[in-house]
Amino acid sequence: MKVCIIIDDSLPSSIKVAAKMIHELACELILQGHEVSVITPDTNVSFVSVEKLDGVTIYRFHSGEIKNVGKVKRALNETLLSWNAWKNTKDILKENPHDLIIYYSPTIFFGPFVYMLKRVWNVKSYLILRDFFPQWTIDNKILKKHSPITYYFKFFERINYSVADTIGVMSEKNLEWFRRYYKTDKPLEVLYNWADLQMFEKESDRYRKKLGLKNKVVFFYGGNLGHAQDMMNIVRLAVNMKYEKQAHFVLVGAGDEYELIEDNIQSQNITLLPSVNQEEFKQMLSEFDIGLFTLNKNHITHNFPGKLLGYMVQEMPILGSVNPDNDLKNVLEKYDAGLVTVNGEDQLFYENAKKLLDEKFRLQMGKNAKNLLIEKFSVGSAVVQIL
């Protein structure tokens, strides 16, 4: 079978978890005997380029910037994604039919492109839906529910859903929410996030030495530093932990709250670093002790951050803070793989962090996290389910 995967970012240049997940999915498809093409935008090509990475054929089409740029510029360039994708790749793809389309959201703007490919190839499509946009921006009062821009985004969101033959969301709670708020006859199912199970071998203590963290217990956050996460939640935790001399926080990534974090670092126990490539990120995971995550308390949908899988691969215990009623809390606690509080429970967040200073406790919890990954979040099971 020839499988076409569409995503707005890809390896090797990307630093995003989504790009890593999709590449792992593509490699597993190849391992199971299929051919795989990935179609993705790129600001550095003038028309379209074709390359190979680990057996995956990658078509990069010209696009304006859509990552780490202003909101207006991003919205305009994302709106043009389907137009640019079709304009630049149609001649190649018409002569190279595939048997299945898998596309990833966010972004919500690939719907028209998927529609055109389905007409040309007469195939089915599977939407991997990881983000209910624009709903989370409404929840967090970034957009008004009935504003023109919200209706504009919802128009493209409906197209995105309408061209899917099956939609996979990331948790049971998301499935319940989606069925309640979006009336659709599309087959819906839970498709958990996934990861390659291979642990990254630590080469050295390079980052510990570089950052002066010898003998420290390092709480590590890697990924988007944005409004959807509420990064001040972690900054507050670091401030509360300032008298725990063992503890240090390392935050790595990019996003619209990077400067906010930078402006509010009040103690010496927190280090903020810009994004790094995937290999450097893996090196950090291999060196540090505890995986951190946070979600904005105003969300009414239930995100499962992809970064957790990287933590699990490296047998890191997880310390997190979620929006109310998020079933991620139940999953992690059922397997004793992490300690999770509701965002706003600052004292309990702090007490959980203190518990993880105990080496024996966190090592056992890290092993439990790896067991959870193996049982529920393997890339092999994701491939089987999609096919």
Q: Which residues pair with 40 in a beta bridge?
A: 60
Tens of pLDDT along 172-190?
Answer: 888 888 888 887 788 999 9
Cα 278–Cα 283–Cα 286 angle in degrees, nearest 5: 125
The pair of structure tokens assigned to 52 is: 């190979």
Below-50 pLDDT ranges, the chain:
none
> From residue 289, how far is each of 155, 220, 285, 360 by CA, in Å?
44, 7, 8, 12
pLDDT computed for residue 371 by the predictor: 92
pLDDT computed for residue 229 by the predictor: 83
pTM score, whole prediction? 0.76
Distance between CA atoms of residues 35 and 31, nearest Å? 9
pLDDT computed for residue 70 by the predictor: 81
Question: What amino acid is encoded at 370 in this protein?
Answer: K
pLDDT computed for residue 227 by the predictor: 76
Query: What's phi and psi for 58, nearest 5 deg?
Result: -115, 120
Name which of 336, 327, 304, 385 is nearest 172 in CA terms.
327
Q: Which residue has the tokens 């389907």?
A: 82
- 3-class secondary structure for the chain? CEEEEECCCCCCCCCCHHHHHHHHHHHHHHHCCCEEEEEEEECCCCCEEEEEECCEEEEEEECCCCCCCCHHHHHHHHHCHHHHHHHHHHHHHHCCCCCEEEEEECCCCCHHHHHHHHHHHCCEEEEEECCCCCHHHHHCCCCCCCCHHHHHHHHHHHHHHHCCCEEEECCHHHHHHHHHHCCCCCCEEECCCCECCCCCCCCCCHHHHHHCCCCCEEEEEEEECCCCCCCHHHHHHHHHCCCCCCEEEEEEEECCCHHHHHHHCCCCCEEEECCCCHHHHHHHHHHCCEEEEECCCCCCCCCCCCHHHHHHHCCCCEEEEECCCCCHHHHHHHCCCEEEEECCCHHHHHHHHHHCCCHHHHHHHHHHHHHHHHHHCEHHHHHHHHC
Q: Is 350 exposed, middle or buried (0-12, 13-18, 19+ CB in 10 A)?
A: middle
pLDDT computed for residue 200 by the predictor: 83
> Is the dihedral angle over the CA atoms 313, 318, 322, 327 positive or is it negative?
positive
Q: HSE-up of 348 (CA within 13 Å, CB side)?
A: 10
| Beta-sheet pairing, 56-62 with 48-53 | antiparallel
Query: What's phi and psi for 247, nearest 5 deg?
Result: -85, 140
> Is the dihedral angle over the CA atoms 342, 343, 344, 349 positive or is it negative?
positive
